[in-house]
Structure 1
Amino acid sequence: MDKFLNKVTLLLCCLGLAGCVTQTYENDNHTPVVQNESSNNEIAMTRISLGLGYLKMGNTTQAKLNLEKAKRSAPHLVQVHTAFAHYYDTVGEPELATQAYEKALSIKGDDPDTLNNYGVFLCKQEKYELAEKQMLKAIAVPSYLLVAQSYENLALCQLDADAFDKAEHYLSKSIQHSPSNATAILHMMRLQYAKKNYVSAQQYLKRYEKATRRFLPEALALAYKIYSKQGKTKVAKNYASMLVKMFPNSFQARAFLLNDLASIEADVLAKRYAATQQTQVVTKKKKRFVKLSPKTTTANKKTTLNTASNLNTNTATSAPENTKNGNAPTQNSASKVTQQIDSNTKQASEVLTHTVAKGDTLFSISMLYNVHMKAIERWNNISRNQPIKIGDVIMVAAPKK
């Protein structure tokens, strides 16, 4: 049966190729010339596949060579320019990647895959509003099938921007479009934990267990924390036991044995969420409310103006007297305070560094300094897959510009 299906597939491919063949005639002797309109696109797609394969292996030279050949075969094929955009993003050329995405969209502005990928790229560049617009455009295309994945991408982008309510909304949409999407459910479980909605997090944990075929150490560690926060220590220990038995060499298992999972990635997210809540409270307190009063009469206005002018006159005349009477040190005190503020600002703006010690990872360093891991990667021009060595100096604050 499988062989039959393979033959049918091959036959369909041949029929598809035959349908693209056209016949034209030369002007002089009307000699027929057969041309295959799809052949250039197929050659280009093959080159793209090869180029991206080389790029994944780290062979950027062969990757670009194949992409250039794809571009020569089909310069107006959207996939050629999106592949170039991915290449430039990988080799750290964001401006060229942007140009490639814009070129692809100039050819076909409603291509949902390009719109989604461009949105993900813009999110990595911390252009969150533009990223959101591109991904929503992709979702709006009626023929687009990967709506759930785009909603999940939108949610992760909003989490990077600390827009937690938006992230929750987009994760809900992702799960609605794909109820068995285990990764989206896991992200929602982590977000509910960060917002201290432990009962809701537990409900999503049950949904995750039904949707997944294979547990992840991150999920087991999070399950342990969710039940621990609710005081359900027996159930929590069961998840911890599963974690240690199933993934003994994982970071989470070692962290449980060393410090009872004192801080996991969800705890870092919880700190960021708490910080945004404090900022919102402070902002609300700083809002000034203007109390409206009855209109002032002309006589009252004149009195107010006269009083103000008297105060200004008194201040101007009293200042020299204060200086003569030996009250000038007030000015010196003010200058000392200014100098102290300048000194504190200078110290705060200094770049902090961390020297890598045994057992350090980018994740553990980010938790130590309460800094997002992506920020550390950006400041040091490294990726989380790149190993760090003992003695390496890692910047944990934004470098001076």
Structure 2
Amino acid sequence: MVTNKRTTIWVMLGCMLLLLQTGCVTTAPNGKEIDEDKVVTAQIRLAKAYIREGQAGLARKPLEKALDYDSRSGEAYSVLAMVNQLEGENELAEKSFRKAIRYSDEPSDVHNNYGAFLYAQSRYEEALKQLDKAASNVHYPKRSYSYQSMGLVALKLGKKEEAKEYFEKGLRLNNRLHKAHLELADILFQEQKYIPAKSHYERFKQLARQNARSLWLGVKIAKVFENNDVVASYGLMLKKMYPGSEELKQYQGLLTNEE
């Protein structure tokens, strides 16, 4: 595994030397011509390789070099925002996101990532605006995920009806959004719309692993449909997989009330 990681980095370093296509050309001190566009691309690829290998700290230097050659590279700023975020440098990350948006020809992906960044900081109104900008681009290939994220933000803001709309929009574009299915199952269950709630829950199970919250929701749905075997099965999973969880306490309380 270590050898493979080193090989990846060396391959990326090798790519930096392959300046075969014409672009903006400068002359190095040794007299050799340098294709600046190729250098920028290679440096960004190297930075991404470092990030993939879990070495985000090493990604900063090639990104700075890329920006030395092209101070208006939206992609370089976008990756730098990721590096700053991974290192907990939130102020620097925000500055990088804003520059990435300013200099990107097509900034939808940056808007989406910036929205996720703001969501993680509980800046929900700002996050919603950024995610909406991404989702509004009908050509953006990840817009379904933007809608899913908008639904999660809307829930944090207490806007349940808006959240439903966002989740449904996302699922119309991509029916494999497991978070959207789980959230809709929960919302619909609360609204006593048990059949569609169960449908979304079953779809969630096909797409993702169960967690404490989903198991407890499964217990409640199964209880409505009087499927006691499923209730017992999910309860056992809660005991084994999530001992001490709030969901297990709720399940145990349910059993106590039935005695």
TM-score by length of 1: 0.49
Say yes or no: does 1:217 pair with 2:208: no
Say yes or no: does 1:200 pair with 2:201: no
Question: Aligned to 1:71, which of 51, 67, 71?
Answer: 67
Matched-pair contact (CA < 8 Å) for 1:88–1:97? yes
Matched-pair contact (CA < 8 Å) for 2:81–2:97? yes
In the alignment, what sits opposite 1:130? 126
State the one-letter code of the partner of 2:48: S
Change (3 A) 1:35 1:221: same
Separation of aligned partners in 1, 2:26 and 2:95 = 39
In the alignment, what sits opposite 1:226? 221
Matched-pair contact (CA < 8 Å) for 1:22–1:34? no
Post-superposition shift, 1:259? 6.1
| SS of residue matched to 1:162 | coil
Post-superposition shift, 1:102? 1.2
CA-to-partner distance for each residue in 1:280-331, whole Å, 9 max, x for gaps?
Answer: xxxxxxxxxxxxxxxxxxxxxxxxxxxxxxxxxxxxxxxxxxxxxxxxxxxx
Separation of aligned partners in 1, 2:155 and 2:247 = 26
Question: Aligned to 1:251, which of 233, 242, 247?
Answer: 242
Post-superposition shift, 1:63? 4.3
Post-superposition shift, 1:141? 2.3
Post-superposition shift, 1:145? 0.4
Post-superposition shift, 1:235? 3.5
Say yes or no: does 1:177 pair with 2:173: yes
In the alignment, what sits opposite 2:187? 191
In the alignment, what sits opposite 2:231? 236
Measured on the aligned residues, the alpha-carbon RMSD in Å equals 3.6
CA-to-partner distance for each residue in 1:365-391, whole Å, 9 max, x for gaps?
Answer: xxxxxxxxxxxxxxxxxxxxxxxxxxx
Separation of aligned partners in 2, 1:98 and 1:201 = 38
- Aligned residue pairs, count: 234
| SS of residue matched to 2:122 | coil
Change (3 A) 1:216 1:252: farther
Matched-pair contact (CA < 8 Å) for 1:53–1:63? no
In the alignment, what sits opposite 1:303? none
Post-superposition shift, 1:172? 0.6
Say yes or no: does 1:149 pair with 2:145: yes
Change (3 A) 1:84 1:35: closer
State the one-letter code of the partner of 2:251: D
Separation of aligned partners in 2, 1:21 and 1:64 = 26
In the alignment, what sits opposite 1:49? 48
Change (3 A) 1:111 1:257: closer
| SS of residue matched to 2:164 | helix
TM-score by length of 2: 0.72
Question: Aligned to 2:156, which of 153, 157, 160?
Answer: 160
Separation of aligned partners in 1, 2:140 and 2:51 = 23
Higher relative contact order (CA 8 A, sep 6+): 2
Say yes or no: does 1:80 pair with 2:92: no
Change (3 A) 1:43 1:138: same
Post-superposition shift, 1:79? 2.1
Separation of aligned partners in 2, 1:227 and 1:91 = 43
Post-superposition shift, 1:253? 9.1
In the alignment, what sits opposite 1:260? 251
Matched-pair contact (CA < 8 Å) for 1:52–1:63? yes
Separation of aligned partners in 2, 1:104 and 1:262 = 51
Separation of aligned partners in 2, 1:147 and 1:163 = 20
Separation of aligned partners in 2, 1:53 and 1:33 = 32
- Higher Cα Rg: structure 1 or 2? 1
Matched-pair contact (CA < 8 Å) for 1:47–1:66? yes
In the alignment, what sits opposite 1:384? none
Percentage of pairs with the same residue: 22
In the alignment, what sits opposite 1:398? none
Separation of aligned partners in 1, 2:25 and 2:39 = 17
In the alignment, what sits opposite 2:10? none
Unaligned runs of 5+ in 1: 1-13, 27-31, 264-401
Change (3 A) 1:152 1:144: same
